[in-house]
């Protein structure tokens, strides 16, 4: 069930997206926000660009062109940016509040979001383990090597911070990634 009464009343088409600001409270009503889109087949890069943007904001697909986020002011703003990019690229998109009545349950959607973050955290943990393996055993790294390791660690920390911001339901895999990054900090 999608309700547009508080978010948007129109579908954005091939014209430049003009998205009104939300007028109601996110505290009431549906628990989820949906982005429903149709992206043109060409150019290919637009689909890739939108897919990457949706990943960065933490959205997960519940169908081919339907993405979900927990309802929040930040989620509205994030989906608005994606909607504008889709419209600017010649596609169509709508954002709506949703309450699932049948089919997917809230628990299943939460698990989809947790699973996506767990995969992200596992990737961070893998990168941190790889970095720990590259540390010189029993001796200090040379200046050039130390600079490279610190740069790598900075990128991993930045990615960990970004994932933490979109971890809406506390994926348990975060602890391994956090402890590996902390371990690297103690070793350096």
Model pLDDT for residues 176-188, shown as the tens digit of each residue = 777 877 775 555 5
Span 78-107, mean pLDDT? 96
Per-residue pLDDT for 8 more than 60?
Answer: no
Top-ranked range on mean pLDDT: pick from 79-88, 99-108, 136-145: 79-88
Considering only residues 80 and 179, tell me which one the structure prediction assigns the higher pLDDT. 80
Considering only residues 182 and 7, tell me which one the structure prediction assigns the higher pLDDT. 182
**Stated pTM of the model:** 0.77
- Helix (H) or strand (E) segment spanning residue 78: helix 73-88
The matching CATH number, chosen from 3.30.70.240, 3.30.70.260, 3.40.50.1220, 3.40.50.12140, for 2-98 is: 3.30.70.240
| Whole-angstrom distance, CA of residue 65 vs CA of residue 1 | 16
Please list the residue range(s) of the chain that carry CATH number 3.30.70.240: 2-98
Model pLDDT for residues 118-155, shown as the tens digit of each residue = 999 999 999 988 888 877 665 666 778 778 888 988 99
């Amino acid at each position: 069930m999608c309700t547009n009464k508080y978010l948007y009343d129109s579908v954005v088409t091939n014209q430049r997206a003009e998205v009104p600001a939300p007028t109601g409270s996110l505290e009431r009503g549906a628990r989820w926000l949906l982005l429903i889109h149709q992206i043109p087949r060409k150019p290919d890069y637009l689909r890739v660009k939108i897919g990457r943007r949706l990943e960065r904001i933490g959205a997960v697909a519940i169908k081919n062109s339907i993405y979900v986020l927990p309802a929040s002011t930040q989620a509205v703003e994030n989906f608005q940016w994606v909607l504008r990019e889709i419209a600017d690229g010649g596609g169509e998109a709508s954002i709506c509040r949703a309450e699932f009545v049948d089919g997917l349950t809230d628990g299943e959607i939460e698990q989809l979001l947790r699973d996506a973050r767990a995969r992200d955290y596992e990737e961070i943990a893998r990168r941190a383990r790889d970095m720990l393996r590259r540390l010189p055993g029993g001796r200090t790294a040379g200046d050039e090597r130390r600079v490279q390791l610190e740069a790598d660690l900075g990128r991993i920390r930045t990615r960990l911070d970004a994932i933490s911001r979109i971890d809406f339901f506390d994926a348990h895999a975060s602890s391994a990634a956090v402890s590996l990054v902390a371990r690297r900090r103690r070793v350096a």
